[in-house]
Amino acid sequence: MDIHKKLRELEEENLLLGEKLVENFLHTVDVLSLIVEALERFYETSHSRFVANKSAELAEKLQLGPQEVFEVHTAALLHDIGKVALPEVINSKFIPEMSKEQYSLYKQHPELGRQMLLRHDGFERIARIVGEHHERIDGSGFPNNLRGEDIHPGAKIIAVVDTYHNVMFRRSKDRFSIGDSAPARYGANFLRDTEVRYGQIISHLRNKSNVLYNPKVVEAFIDMVEIERKQLGMAQIERVAINNLRPGMVLADSYYTTYGLLIASRGEKISDKMIATMMRLSDSNELPPRILILM
Ligand SMILES: [Fe+2]
Ligand SMILES: [Fe+2]
């Protein structure tokens, strides 16, 4: 028997098995993230996708390796998966509106998420990040009051992006998370109120840098959003036919299926997968033939 040939065959088999495992893993993440998105009707744009994309960008900016960036992205996509196990009445509320019992249940969602993900091989590090996304460096976070270096670097990144998105894009009747009042989403003063929210969240992050949040993460994140806001301020909106969409273009509006499932959020970069979904939906008249794009 040709031992070399046999070894080569084994090697190929292993490679194939490796690819299958990766494919399997990505498929699982995909299904889980759809479940998470179904919880997100309390946001104006996809919370999990925003937190995932920005956290991965931030992780790259902070020079984490490709494997770590991938883990941060996946953990951010699934960071609130534990909320699936909470009653809707809790998920629809802001923290100040919760009763004491509701708040203590709410504080279990990182641990619930961690345990859910640990049931699947290969999710160990991702599960840890998910379990720590509400920990804060001064030990005031939950569920375990971890401090500084005890918190996974990925969880410190998600903490900042998560807080930012909650303040900027969480739907509110007459209130948003940092305390002051804000009118409804489509009120006449919406643009000015977005500016107010933005000012508040940036000063919150600066004030709590090195208290709640890692200072390097805060600094890199503020840099990133300021650059993006400048670019958006200069951008113009154009209607682009679906078959002319290209990966990397930025959406100027959010798009939903007829059943209300979010396809893509305002401000999100278009991916190949998104284009394929949009083409399919436009064929069945579920989407307009032209999409609003920032140019
Ligand atoms: Fe959370
Ligand atoms: Fe969140």
The pTM (predicted TM-score) of the whole model is 0.79
Ligand 1 centroid to Cα of residue 196, in Å, is: 24
Cα 51 to ligand 2 centroid, rounded to whole Å = 8
* Cα(47) to centroid(ligand 2), Å: 7
Q: What type of residue sits at position 56? A: A
Tell me, what's the pLDDT at 79? 96
Cα(113) to centroid(ligand 1), Å: 9
* Distance separating alpha carbons of residues 96 and 103, to the nearest angstrom: 9
Kindly state the percentage of the chain with pLDDT values over 90.
Answer: 45
CA gap 244, 87 in Å, rounded = 43
- Ligand 2 centroid to Cα of residue 289, in Å, is 33
Counting ligands in written order, which one lies closest to the CA of residue 143? 1
The CA 219 to ligand 1 mean position distance, Å, reads: 22
Query: Helix, strand, or coil here: 236?
Result: coil
Helix pair angle (124-131, 66-77), 10° resolution: 60
pLDDT tens per residue, range 145-166: 999 999 999 999 999 999 999 8
Could you give the angle at the alpha carbon of 276 between the alpha carbons of 274 and 282, nearest 5°?
100
* Alpha helices, H only, 78-210: 88-91, 100-106, 109-118, 124-131, 153-169, 190-207
- Asked if residue 110 has a cis previous peptide bond (ω within 30° of 0), the answer is no
Rg (alpha carbons) of the chain, rounded to whole number: 21
Place 182 in a pLDDT band, splitting at 50, 70 and 90: very low
CA of 87 to the centre of ligand 1 (A): 15
Q: How far is the CA of 276 from the centre of ligand 2 (A)?
A: 28
Q: Tokens for 195, please give them.
A: 């500016």
How many whole angstroms from its chain centre is CA 168? 13
- Whether residue 52 contacts residue 77, with contact meaning beta carbons closer than 8 Å, is answered with yes
Q: How far is the CA of 58 from the centre of ligand 1 (A)?
A: 18
What pLDDT, in 10s, does the model give residues 94-121?
A: 888 899 999 999 999 999 999 999 998 8
Determine the distance separating the centroid of ligand 1 and the alpha carbon of 109, expressed in angstroms.
7
Q: Which ligand is nearest to the CA of 36?
A: 2
How far, in Å, from the CA of 249 to the mean position of ligand 2? 25
Q: Which ligand is nearest to the CA of 142?
A: 1
Judged by its nearest atom, the ligand closest to the C-alpha of residue 55 is 2
Query: What is the whole-number distance in angstroms between the Cα of residue 255 and the centre of ligand 1?
Result: 24
Question: What pLDDT is stored for residue 180 in this prediction?
Answer: 34
